[in-house]
Amino acid sequence: MVSDTLLADVKKVLGERVSTSEVVRMHHGTDESHHEPAPPDLVVFPETSDEVADIVRLCASHRTPVIPFGAGTSLEGGVGAINGGVCIDLSGMNRIVQINADDLDVTVEAGVTRKQLNQHLRDTGLFFPIDPGADATLGGMASTRASGTNAVRYGTMRENVLNVTVVLADGKIIKTGSRAKKSAAGYDLTRILVGAEGTLGVITELTVRLYGVPEAISAAVCAFPSVDAAIQCCIVTMQSGIPVARMELLDAAQMKACIEYSDLSYQAAPTLFFEFHGSQSAVREHATTVQEIAAEYDGSEFKWAEKTEDRNQLWQARHDALYAALAMKPGARAWSTDVCVPISGLAECIAETRKDIEASSLLATMVGHVGEGNFHVIFILDPNDTAAFSEAQHINDRMVSRAIAMDGTCTGEHGVGIGKRRCLEQEFGGALDTMRLLKQTLDPLNIMNPGKILI
Amino acid sequence: MVSDTLLADVKKVLGERVSTSEVVRMHHGTDESHHEPAPPDLVVFPETSDEVADIVRLCASHRTPVIPFGAGTSLEGGVGAINGGVCIDLSGMNRIVQINADDLDVTVEAGVTRKQLNQHLRDTGLFFPIDPGADATLGGMASTRASGTNAVRYGTMRENVLNVTVVLADGKIIKTGSRAKKSAAGYDLTRILVGAEGTLGVITELTVRLYGVPEAISAAVCAFPSVDAAIQCCIVTMQSGIPVARMELLDAAQMKACIEYSDLSYQAAPTLFFEFHGSQSAVREHATTVQEIAAEYDGSEFKWAEKTEDRNQLWQARHDALYAALAMKPGARAWSTDVCVPISGLAECIAETRKDIEASSLLATMVGHVGEGNFHVIFILDPNDTAAFSEAQHINDRMVSRAIAMDGTCTGEHGVGIGKRRCLEQEFGGALDTMRLLKQTLDPLNIMNPGKILI
């Protein structure tokens, strides 16, 4: 519960833009993960960085937790108010502040979503490539160091955020950098905030890189006799320096689900979805080369999607992977988890995880952003079957240990939230103490999204 | 002066691998900048991270500064022992620890230089692209967030370091990350250390990305009627998404110097040096497209360098820019400075800076990594003319203010060292306090390269 004084003080700042309604609170304590919702005590709707700063200062003086909220699409419990407190809903801060076409960058408020941004950019010949499954806000995407299917070509939020404006735990507003494409000036505060999941401050504005819409785009689907063969094809493709824009793996189980869900005419075999960006002839050439590489690993003929609508259908099927998997078991709930390993270990990591799944009672599919060695397991669970959740946790724990043993990470793009906190000791060892020290320094009262990332 | 106890304790760890000789100390207090040398009291030559940790612990117990030293090629006084202390020369830690060809990464000790690494990689079909002018060590390059001519295509050290092993101020050794190409796990400690110039810890080992050697490489030179026309050509090239590997601007003064120094048959006009990487046909196509763009801005016919020796000669001329500038005035000393701005401001920033140079008594040339909006001024100064150094400082200050006013940065790749410390307040405002807080937290005794970055 927030105190009456705090509530009154907050209302002085925001007027009617506060809510204690149960529905609103529950919505803001719920994400897209398997974690239990944890509603905040109060939800506020600021419209400027100054208002956010006022709220944070009030919360600091009341030692009350502050939880930033974008689109609520976290996959590891990032928005749950596990210690109560005030949820700062940033969706009202959704202005496109400034497009700099010559500089290939744009400054936006934190509540702008990726689809909103690309819609806004549609007449400029530019686009923003980072595409996590959900239509997340850019503030949320920065906070979880999000990526998606284009990361193999365009990088993740780590590489694409030029600066952030952030409200620190004491209510101070700082801007972490300039719009320069590179800088050797001082400590990289931008990248301390990117991926901090709101535990070091609330991102209220950010500048991100943009890219020219490619002259030609072409997509293709190729089936392989095994996951291993598909991954070998990816390794050789990467070594050849072919700038594939997307290179997505779906395992046989996921393909089966997608074929049934979207009525596709593909095989239920391990499959790569490719996309190529560039000039007409570059796209043609890259595709031909990759096709030759695929053939060496017994890949099927490429099924092409060159027209926009065919391509959209293909990627819609990929983006619907979660819903397709869910449709395999009506009434089920999904638990999506991810790890990322050096690509040389990817086939083994997937195979061993598949073995664990087969040895369990669970239904699960796998999809991967293969270029970066990142893959997801989607467990399809009966929401009332607690034993099944324990089994999933066990398989997840083993997968994380396996990834870390291969010099990989416990999460490539979902973030830590509350779900992966126990993994950090194993992944970082003594470096975890340095992370704790940073948290204590930048948030001495432990009010910024407390209980996330660090236990 | 270090105390006799400290000296004796250090000798217990390193035996004869310590030096108090004046020549050795002076060498280790000198870099390639215009700043006065500042010799350390003692130079040590550790061969393992554990030895570095022992030295740092001893220095901490004696409250004695620790200055890491790689190749001594800093351009802003980064290696000067301005408060005395112990210089840790890492050049003996020059082992290639592990090449992972499938994963496109390599782990090296901090003392490995970029040329040593590429020499070692020459039979693997892989290369490491980051190329500051000097043959710097990878530890030094990480510490200064170095880049170079390939950054427009391959990024800087910020994007290419996957993890670092670092000795912290209390002698603790931590590894900041894994070999995964991306991670959403915890605070980005890697990027806190990259660019910290040894003020938060001593990097002893690091893992960096590698790339496949392109099938075809082609380089070309194109003269323009003005710097503005050359930069417009670059802006359109970038917006078109053409993946140029190098795009270097030399102004008329620099071209004149290079033509005289290397006996070249180019014009003394603003000139772009391009390089294209890819398949034979991609290189041809990209080059044709850029040639068309250049023609629209009255660029000359491209002068091609396709053969390796011709290309090497061309880039040698570019890399010799500093020596060519120095040769214009025998006995002179160079002061090289850089800023980085959004590319839309680059032409104006260069023009205004050129005006300042023309209005002064100084000789100076300009070269730029245009793709990122980064450019350098090389002042050619009489070493005994203190008034000239003041003039250079004045022009430098105005250029930095101009860059920051354009939402750029006071240094794109040279680092802060001691030369740009006074610029950070203007660039970062309140965020500078957060940097100070990080420094105090991670180095409470202020022994790690004290006086660098922060005053």
Q: Read off the CATH number of the domain in which A33 is found.
A: 3.30.43.10
Disruptive mutation site among A74, A187, A228, A341 for chain B (greatest number of B CBs within 10 Å):
A187
Q: What is the pLDDT of residues B135-148, one digit of tens each?
A: 999 999 999 999 99
**pLDDT (average), residues A25-47:** 97
Q: A334 with A388, same domain?
A: yes
Within 174-203 of B, beta carbons closer than 8 Å to A belong to 174-189, 191-192, 194-196, 200
Chain A residue at shortest CA distance from B414: A184
**How many domains are contained in chain A?**
4
Query: Is A191 in contact with B192 (Cβ distance < 8 A)?
Result: yes
Query: Is B434 in contact with A168 (Cβ distance < 8 A)?
Result: yes
Query: Is B188 in contact with A183 (Cβ distance < 8 A)?
Result: no
Q: B334 with B403, same domain?
A: yes
Do A381 and A248 meet the contact criterion of CB atoms below 8 Å apart?
Answer: no
pTM surpassing 0.95?
Answer: yes
The reported pLDDT for the residue numbered A305 is 87
Chain A residue at shortest CA distance from B342: A180
What phi-psi label fits residue B187: left (phi over 0), alpha (psi between -120 and 50 degrees) or beta? beta
Whether A264 shows a pLDDT value over 90: the answer reads no
Q: B204 with B103, same domain?
A: yes
Q: Cβ neighbours of residue A245 under 8 Å, at least 6 residues apart?
A: A150, A152, A153, A154, A214, A217, A275, A276, A277
Instruction: Work out the pLDDT band at B306, boundaries 50, 70, 90.
Output: confident
CB-nearest to B187 from A195, A241, A408 is A195
Rounded to a whole number, what is the distance in Å from the CA of A77 to chain B's nearest CA? Answer: 14
Which residues in chain A have Cβ-Cβ distances shorter than 8 Å to B412? 180, 182-184
A281 vs A431, higher pLDDT? A431
- Reduced to 3 states, what is the DSSP secondary structure of residue B149? coil
B408 touches chain A (CB under 8 A): yes
Whether B160 shows a pLDDT value over 90: the answer reads yes
Question: Rounded to the nearest 5 degrees, what angle is found at the Cα of A106, between the Cα atoms of A94 and A275?
Answer: 100
Rounded to a whole number, what is the distance in Å from the CA of A232 to chain B's nearest CA? Answer: 9
CA-to-CA distance for A281 and B165, rounded, in angstroms?
A: 44
The reported pLDDT for the residue numbered B140 is 98
CB-nearest to A185 from B103, B214, B420 is B420
Query: Is A214 in contact with B243 (Cβ distance < 8 A)?
Result: no
Percent of chain B with pLDDT over 70: 100
H-helix or E-strand spanning residue B437: helix B431-442
CA-to-CA distance for A320 and A133, rounded, in angstroms?
A: 9
Do B418 and B80 meet the contact criterion of CB atoms below 8 Å apart?
Answer: yes
Chain A residue at shortest CA distance from B441: A441
What ipTM was reported for this prediction? Answer: 0.96
Do A141 and A265 meet the contact criterion of CB atoms below 8 Å apart?
Answer: no
Q: How far apart are the first and last CA of chain A?
A: 22
Q: Which of A321, A339, A370 is the last residue of a domain?
A: A321
B278 touches chain A (CB under 8 A): yes
The pair of structure tokens assigned to B202 is 């001593």
B73 touches chain A (CB under 8 A): no
Q: Cβ neighbours of residue A215 under 8 Å, at least 6 residues apart?
A: A278, A279, A280, B240, B241
Q: Can you give chain A as a three-state secondary structure string?
A: CCCHHHHHHHHHHHCCCEECCHHHHHHHCCCCCCCCCCCCCEEECCCCHHHHHHHHHHHHHCCCCEEEECCCCCCCCCCCCCCCCEEEECCCCCCEEEEECCCCEEEEECCCEHHHHHHHCCCCCEECCCCCCCCCEHHHHHHCCCCCCCHHHHCCHHHHEEEEEEECCCCCEEECCCCCCCCCCCCCHHHHHCCCCCCCCEEEEEEEECEECCCEEEEEEEECCCHHHHHHHHHHHHHCCCCEEEEEEECHHHHHHHHHHHCCCCCCCCEEEEEEEECHHHHHHHHHHHHHHHHHCCCCCCEEECCHHHHHHHHHHHHCHHHHHHHCCCCCEEEEEEEECCHHHHHHHHHHHHHHHHCCCCEEEEEEEHHHCEEEEEEEECCCCHHHHHHHHHHHHHHHHHHHHCCCECCCCCCCCCCCHHHHHHHHCCHHHHHHHHHHHHCCCCCECCCCCCC
Q: Which of A295, A321, A347 is the last residue of a domain?
A: A321
φ, ψ at B247 (rounded to 5°)? -155, 90
Do B149 and B123 meet the contact criterion of CB atoms below 8 Å apart?
Answer: no
Whether B65 shows a pLDDT value over 90: the answer reads yes
Do A79 and A69 meet the contact criterion of CB atoms below 8 Å apart?
Answer: yes
Q: A143 with A224, same domain?
A: no
Query: Is B145 in contact with A414 (Cβ distance < 8 A)?
Result: no
**pLDDT (average), residues B324-342:** 95
Q: B166 with B236, same domain?
A: no
The reported pLDDT for the residue numbered B452 is 98
B405 touches chain A (CB under 8 A): no
Percent of chain A with pLDDT over 70: 100
Question: Does residue A266 form part of some domain?
Answer: yes
CB-nearest to A191 from B102, B191, B409 is B191
Q: How many CB atoms lie within 10 A of CB B8?
A: 9
- Reduced to 3 states, what is the DSSP secondary structure of residue B163? strand
Whether A156 shows a pLDDT value over 90: the answer reads yes
The reported pLDDT for the residue numbered A1 is 78
Domain that holds residue B60: 4-91
Question: Does residue B398 form part of some domain?
Answer: yes
CB-nearest to B214 from A145, A241, A342 is A241
Rounded to a whole number, what is the distance in Å from the CA of B330 to chain A's nearest CA? Answer: 31
Q: Please list, residue by residue across B202-223, b when 16 or more beta carbons sit within 10 angstroms of its beta carbon and e when fewer do.
A: bbbbbbbbbbbbbbebbbbbbb
Query: Is B182 in contact with A431 (Cβ distance < 8 A)?
Result: no
Q: For residue B374, what are the β-bridge partners?
A: B340, B369
> CA distances (Å), B197 to each of B140, B168, B338, B441, in order?
8, 13, 17, 16
Q: A164 with A244, same domain?
A: no
DSSP-assigned letters across all residues of B286-334: HHHHHHHHHHHTTPPPPEEE-SHHHHHHHHHHHHTHHHHHHHTSTT-EE
CB-nearest to A235 from B102, B173, B439 is B102
The reported pLDDT for the residue numbered A431 is 98
Query: Is B172 in contact with A104 (Cβ distance < 8 A)?
Result: no
Closest CA to B432 of A202, A172, A143, A61: A172
**pLDDT (average), residues B430-440:** 98
> What CATH number does residue B311 fall under?
3.30.70.2190
Q: B58 with B82, same domain?
A: yes
Rounded to a whole number, what is the distance in Å from the CA of A102 to chain B's nearest CA? Answer: 6
φ, ψ at A273 (rounded to 5°)? -105, 120
Q: Which of B192, B212, B232 is the last residue of a domain?
A: B212
Q: What is the pLDDT of residues B360-404, one digit of tens each?
A: 999 999 999 999 999 999 999 999 999 999 999 999 999 999 999
Q: B137 with B85, same domain?
A: no
B169 touches chain A (CB under 8 A): no
Q: A331 with A301, same domain?
A: no
**pLDDT (average), residues A95-116:** 97
The DSSP bridge pattern shows strands A363-369 and A374-381 to be antiparallel
Q: What is the mean pLDDT of chain B?
A: 96
B15 touches chain A (CB under 8 A): no
Rounded to a whole number, what is the distance in Å from the CA of A337 to chain B's nearest CA? Answer: 12
CA-to-CA distance for A368 and A288, rounded, in angstroms?
A: 23
- Reduced to 3 states, what is the DSSP secondary structure of residue B228? helix
Q: What is the pLDDT of residues A120-136, one digit of tens each?
A: 999 999 999 999 989 99
Q: How far apart are the first and last CA of chain B?
A: 22
CB-nearest to A239 from B186, B212, B435 is B212
Q: B78 with B117, same domain?
A: no
A442 touches chain B (CB under 8 A): yes
**pLDDT (average), residues A71-79:** 96
The reported pLDDT for the residue numbered B133 is 86
Query: Is A101 in contact with B239 (Cβ distance < 8 A)?
Result: yes
Query: Is B427 in contact with A185 (Cβ distance < 8 A)?
Result: yes
**pLDDT (average), residues B408-424:** 98
Rounded to a whole number, what is the distance in Å from the CA of A248 to chain B's nearest CA? Answer: 15
DSSP class of B240: T
Whether B188 shows a pLDDT value over 90: the answer reads yes
Question: Does residue B228 form part of some domain?
Answer: yes
Question: Does residue B357 form part of some domain?
Answer: yes
Give the least confident one: A276-280, B12-16, B74-78, B384-388: A276-280
Do B198 and B235 meet the contact criterion of CB atoms below 8 Å apart?
Answer: no
Do B245 and B219 meet the contact criterion of CB atoms below 8 Å apart?
Answer: no
Rounded to a whole number, what is the distance in Å from the CA of B23 to chain A's nearest CA? Answer: 31
Write down the number of H helices and E strands in chain B. 17, 18
**pLDDT (average), residues B322-351:** 95
Q: What is the pLDDT of residues B18-55, one digit of tens each?
A: 999 999 999 999 999 999 999 999 999 999 999 999 99
Query: Is A185 in contact with B416 (Cβ distance < 8 A)?
Result: yes
Question: Does residue B368 form part of some domain?
Answer: yes
Q: B274 with B239, same domain?
A: yes
Instruction: Work out the pLDDT band at B208, boundaries 50, 70, 90.
Output: very high
Chain B residue at shortest CA distance from A125: B239
Whether B316 shows a pLDDT value over 90: the answer reads no
Rounded to a whole number, what is the distance in Å from the CA of A432 to chain B's nearest CA? Answer: 8
Q: A208 with A221, same domain?
A: no
Whether B417 shows a pLDDT value over 90: the answer reads yes
Whether B180 shows a pLDDT value over 90: the answer reads yes
Instruction: Work out the pLDDT band at B1, boundaries 50, 70, 90.
Output: confident
Do B450 and A447 meet the contact criterion of CB atoms below 8 Å apart?
Answer: no
DSSP class of B384: T
Query: Is B187 in contact with A200 (Cβ distance < 8 A)?
Result: yes
CB-nearest to A241 from B183, B212, B439 is B212
